[in-house]
């Protein structure tokens, strides 16, 4: 994957704030002095580790070296739910995000990930269909692969069966029975299954399955769409995906043409219970993707003149903070959840599955999973409208820093 960080896409919409940096809290949060008061600023388009996380100190240190005590210019892009200013930050004229991206690459390398910074010429050589001319920082992960989404669950099922699991294909869960606040049975259209633990991994239907157990999940299914173009001369299947993080868009080769997916600014939440035929019944709309294409024709010039061959969509589950929902429901013992995929369920699934298996069977996760706890929001999103608004906002800022 190639990841481009630009500073120019949609910058015209932002107001500008200028103040001295009086505090650097972690790798993506600092405070600037405005009207004699310190205002926290969260850097957008980047997710640096927090203080207590691995590399958190190093990340804070690098932002401090770049910005502490200096004059920062902030392109004001709004406020987060804590009232912090969200924005792109330039310290003494240096784009802090680009510097942090460089740090992120160093951290990835330290974890053994095949990731490196590349210059524009190299990015162009790797993915000739893209034009990285406006990019301020570019990283490249050589070991990323493409997969057919359906192949992954099929492979997991095959592996589970080979280890002795029974797979009940074509079986619908219609109810969940509890005894004294503990899971007792799952009711299906093919009979009952007695069990001590249930894992709700029902994708867009996860909230509906949770309701059967009396559990409320803070997640909302949001329509995610992509288009596939007609074949384009020169585009080959081995070329990498190119993301432009500022524009919330990704493009990669598909069927001889290009596939473009984007996180539109006006997404819509869809209750899958309203879709009689399932996902195939979901209303699609090419217009938001056409608007995204207009924004990035500089980065993907070939998209200017190519026809769209297919429009597709699905229903990933979003959460208010952009982090997954993994863990046991506090109100029902034995009811476990793997949801809130935030459009990354395929990539996270091997690690998440392994961690959850250990957590359920031993009572302890292999590492700190508190960031994903189902009850981390308290009652902040009990109101469905508030929850939906927060999840939609998170979706349309998909490549920006999760809080």
**CB closer to ligand FAD out of 201 and 220:** 201
- Active-site residue, 50 included: yes
Helices (H), 115-205: 120-126, 151-162
- Active-site residue, 84 included: yes
Size of the site for ligand FAD (CB under 6 A): 20
| Min CB(205)–ligand FAD separation in Å | 3
The CA dihedral of 227, 231, 232, 233, to the nearest 10 degrees, is 160
| Min CB(41)–ligand FAD separation in Å | 30
Can you tell me whether residue 337 is helix, strand or coil?
strand
Helices (H), 224-306: 287-295
CB contact burial 113-132 (16+ within 10 A = b; e otherwise) = eebebbeeeebbebbebbbb
Which pairing describes strands 308-314 and 249-254: parallel, antiparallel, or unpaired? unpaired
- Active-site residue, 376 included: no
Which pairing describes strands 308-314 and 224-229: parallel, antiparallel, or unpaired? antiparallel
**66 within 8 A of 37, measured Cβ to Cβ:** no
**CB closer to ligand FAD out of 145 and 233:** 145
**CB closer to ligand FAD out of 149 and 363:** 149
In the set 242, 332, 341, 391, which binds ligand FAD (CB under 6 A)?
341
In the set 207, 322, 327, 345, which binds ligand FAD (CB under 6 A)?
345
Query: Looking at 32-40, 57-65, 284-292, 344-352, which segment touches ligand FAD (CB under 6 A)?
Result: 344-352
Interaction of residue 205 with ligand FAD, rule CB under 6 A: yes
d(CA 183, CA 190): 19
Interaction of residue 268 with ligand FAD, rule CB under 6 A: no
d(CA 207, CA 381): 14
Catalytic residue selected from 58, 84, 255, 389: 84
Residues 137-196 that bind ligand FAD (CB under 6 A): 149, 172-173
Query: Looking at 15-23, 32-40, 131-139, 204-212, which segment touches ligand FAD (CB under 6 A)?
Result: 204-212
The number of residues making up the chain comes to: 403
| Min CB(132)–ligand FAD separation in Å | 21
The CA dihedral of 108, 110, 111, 115, to the nearest 10 degrees, is 40
Interaction of residue 343 with ligand FAD, rule CB under 6 A: yes
Residues 223-262 that bind ligand FAD (CB under 6 A): 224, 226, 261
Q: What kind and span of H or E run contains 42?
A: strand 37-43
**CB closer to ligand FAD out of 27 and 203:** 203
What's the maximum distance between 2 C-alpha atoms anywhere in the chain? Answer: 68
Interaction of residue 209 with ligand FAD, rule CB under 6 A: yes
Please give the structure tokens belonging to residue 145: 């692969």
Catalytic residues, by residue number, are 42, 50, 84
Residues that bind ligand FAD (CB under 6 A): 149, 172-173, 201-205, 209, 224, 226, 261, 314, 316, 341, 343-347
């Amino acid at each position: 994957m190639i990841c481009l960080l630009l500073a120019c896409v949609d910058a015209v919409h932002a107001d500008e704030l200028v103040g001295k940096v009086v505090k650097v809290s972690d790798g993506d949060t600092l405070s600037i002095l405005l009207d004699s008061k310190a205002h926290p600023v969260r850097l957008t388009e980047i997710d640096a580790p927090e203080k207590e996380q691995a590399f958190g100190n190093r990340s804070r240190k690098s932002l401090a070296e770049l910005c502490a005590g200096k004059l920062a210019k902030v392109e004001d892009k709004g406020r987060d739910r804590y009232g912090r200013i969200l924005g792109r930050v330039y310290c003494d004229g240096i784009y802090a995000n680009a510097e942090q991206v460089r740090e992120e690459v160093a951290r990835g390398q330290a974890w053994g990930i095949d990731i490196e910074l590349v210059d524009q010429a190299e990015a162009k050589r790797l993915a000739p269909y893209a034009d990285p001319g406006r990019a301020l920082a570019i990283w490249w992960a050589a070991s990323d692969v493409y997969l057919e989404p359906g192949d992954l669950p099929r492979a997991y099922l095959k592996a589970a069966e080979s280890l002795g699991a029974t797979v009940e294909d074509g079986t619908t869960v219609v109810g969940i029975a509890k005894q004294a606040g503990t899971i007792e049975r799952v009711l299906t259209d093919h009979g009952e299954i007695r069990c001590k633990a249930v894992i709700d991994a029902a994708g867009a239907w996860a909230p509906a399955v949770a309701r059967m157990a009396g559990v409320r999940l803070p997640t909302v299914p949001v329509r995610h769409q992509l288009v596939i173009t007609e074949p384009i001369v020169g585009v080959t299947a081995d070329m990498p995906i190119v993301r432009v993080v500022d524009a919330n868009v990704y493009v990669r080769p598909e069927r001889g043409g290009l596939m473009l997916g984007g996180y539109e600014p006006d997404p819509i939440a869809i209750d899958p219970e309203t879709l009689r035929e399932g996902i195939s019944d979901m209303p699609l709309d090419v217009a938001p993707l056409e608007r995204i294409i207009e924004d990035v024709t500089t980065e993907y010039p070939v998209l200017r003149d190519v026809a769209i061959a297919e429009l597709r969509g699905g229903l990933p589950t979003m959460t208010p903070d952009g982090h997954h929902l993994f863990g046991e429901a506090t109100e029902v013992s034995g009811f476990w959840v793997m949801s809130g995929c935030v459009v990354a369920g395929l990539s996270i699934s091997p690690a998440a599955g392994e961690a959850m298996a250990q957590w359920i069977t031993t009572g302890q996760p292999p590492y700190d999973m508190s960031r994903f706890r189902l009850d981390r929001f308290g009652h902040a999103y009990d109101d469905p409208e508030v929850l939906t608004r927060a999840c939609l906002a998170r979706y349309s800022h998909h490549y920006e820093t999760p809080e």
